[in-house]
Structure 1
Amino acid sequence: MKKLLSLLAFILISFSAFAQKPEYETKSNIQYYNAATNKADSYINERCVLDIYYPKNTKGFATIVWFHGGGLTGGNKEIPEALKNKGFAIIGVNYRLSPKVKAEKAIEDLHVAIAWTFNNIASYGGDVSQIFVSGHSAGGYLALMTGLDKKWLQKEGIDANKIAGLIPFSGQCITHFEIRRQNGIPEKQPTIDAFAPLYHVRADAPPLLLITGDRELEMLGRYEENAYMARMMKLVGHTQTKLYELDGYGHGMTEPGFPLLVNEVNRILKEKQTKK
């Protein structure tokens, strides 16, 4: 009899655990500019859309806004498979591309996409205090720019410091090479101006986790840029900057990077919970 009761208890617990797993839903091609802007600009209307993957019938979940790479000239929005079924919402964002528009227009687009997230995620069940911004390569650069240069989100009435964490993958920390190219500056001539994340180092920025591939395998000086960014953030007094170099991986280092992203999100969420 005891064995039977134990078996029934095990079945009930297993069924309960299975039943509590959230079901996820994806909504695609949501326009994140307002209707008037979409009507006035056909390229914005076509390109500036996002997908949201989120746990249904769940409240208080965290959100990761993910920006695709492609050198600011290519690429498309994505919901990375490695981030699915982790209890988070994932938002994949498209943005305008060079040379159809000036490369810096991508920064304009992505601050609007982040603002859309702040203004809308609660209606899906998300917690507005748990919005993280990440991306790979050009997407990592854009994550850094929109999170460190506060003027972009200020245009939408949002304090960039409300972002829960910035987690760029192999992001450019000097002025992006496509912005330099359109201004006649060679790819291998480093430039730090207002379009460089390094220009905007500050002590009060959100927690920052910089992830790159192996310094000997990465694109150009990508590891060294991130190492300098980490050093300068610490020197200005930022206490939550970390740098990971993924030995043996080149620029396409997203797969080994995703677990680090998930761990960092969970670390920050746990820290927030402890402070409550």
Structure 2
Amino acid sequence: MRKILIIFIVTIFSIPIFSQEYRLENNIHYYDEQTNKSDAYINERCVLDIYIPKNIKNFPTVIWFHGGGLTGGQKEIPEQLKNKGVAVIGVNYRLSPKVNAPKYIEDAAAASAWVFKNIKNYGGDNNKIFISGHSAGGYLAIMVGLNKMYLEKYGIDANKLAGIIPFSGQMVSHFTARKEKGIDELDARIDDFAPLHFIRADAPPLLLITGDREKELLGRYEENAYMARMMKLKGHKETTLYELQGFDHGGMAHPAFPLLLNEIKRIEKLKK
């Protein structure tokens, strides 16, 4: 478990700057036409944006889920991931209270399956797909990455993900999923909606990043520290935990992006 004390060194010296051109496509439906026609909210909400490098092949891809407590937020292509030699997929998903768990997790899985099935058509490599997000988005990323059931529905092994990189994601059952059941946000549960319930030794590389434990939301650092310990005890060899000292829940995302990009570079080297 490591604390990051000097963020600017990481930011300035470890991230390459690319002059590559990119194109952006917006509001692509990731469910099939029949599903979109059958549900107006899916048709409205379940879309994604793609930010793709031009004129290069076999680039890595980051699937990015926005935060907002599973009750708000909008898809985004984070500025810190632009012009970095990677494709970025910004995903919208259905929100509580219009839907309840596991609908938003199912949406995250459907969007991820779309990427696996389509990224080659844009020049990407589906062996270099990373799943990430901030806060509620980090929770969705690790749920899809660890509970293999969600991607199996689409004939995809979650172990095909190149890496799982949640930013300040909840590791116990998400407080919104608990609220839907009338459970208090401080009444922590490890159940079917908790990433901790699905620890396994054979998972893809897992990079857990949180803000300062004294500034984070609820017990977010401690949840991630427990996840890191349990994954290692389970026999997982590639779990890493970073605590970004001095940064709160919202502020930790900016210094976390260089760590995500460095992890992509590290794993790309291992695949060569």
> What is the TM-score of this pair, normalised by structure 2?
0.93
Correspondences of 1:23-38 after superposition (within 5 Å): 23-38=21-36
Partner of 2:259: 260
Match of 1:216 among 199, 214, 217: 214
Whether 1:48 aligns to 2:50 is no
1:173 aligns with 2:196: no
1:46 maps to a residue whose letter is E
CA distance in 1, matches of 2:26, 2:141: 21
**2:181 corresponds to which of 183, 190, 193:** 183
Give distance in 1, aligned partners of 2:131 and 2:60. 11
Query: Structure 2: how far apart are the matches of 1:103 and 1:51?
Result: 24
User: What CA distance in whole angstroms lies between the structure 2 residues aligned with 1:42 and 1:196?
Assistant: 29
Among 244, 248, 252, the residue aligned to 2:242? 244
Report the residue type matching 1:72 in the other structure: L
Distance 1:222 1:139 in 2: 14
Query: Counterpart amino acid of 1:241?
Result: T
- Which residue number in structure 2 is paired with residue 146 of structure 1? 144
CA RMSD in angstroms, aligned pairs only? 1.0
Q: 2: distance between equivalents of 1:216 and 1:104?
A: 31
Give matches, 1:92-111, under 5 Å.
92-111=90-109
Counterpart in the other structure of 1:81? 79
* 1:58, distance to aligned residue in structure 2 (A): 1.3
Q: Secondary structure at the match of 1:86?
A: coil
SS in 2 for 1:245: strand
2:128 paired with 1:164: no
The corresponding residue for 2:123 is: 125
The Cα offsets for residues 206-241 of structure 1, whole Å up to 9 and x where unpaired, read as 000000000000000000000000000000000000
Partners in 2 of 1:204 and 1:128 — Cα distance? 19
Q: Cα distance, 1:249 vs. partner?
A: 0.3
SS in structure 1 at match of 2:131: strand
**SS in structure 1 at match of 2:204:** coil
Moved over 6 A (4+): none
Between Structure 1 and Structure 2, which shows a larger proportion of helix residues?
1
Q: Secondary structure at the match of 1:265?
A: helix
Shift, 1:271, TM fit:
1.1
Residue aligning to 1:4:
none
Q: What runs of 5+ residues in structure 2 fail to find an aligned partner?
A: 1-16
Secondary structure of 1:95's aligned partner: coil
- What is the aligned partner in structure 1 of residue 10 from structure 2? none
- The yes-or-no answer on 1:199 pairing with 2:197 is yes
SS of the residue corresponding to residue 244 of structure 1 reads strand
**Normalised TM-score (structure 1):** 0.91
Which structure would you say has the larger Rg?
Answer: 1
For 1:170 and 1:198, how far apart are their aligned partners in 2?
14
User: Which residue is 1:3 aligned to?
Assistant: none
How far apart are the structure 2 equivalents of 1:116 and 1:84? Answer: 21
Q: 2:224 aligns with which of 223, 226, 250?
A: 226
Q: CA deviation at 1:51?
A: 0.2
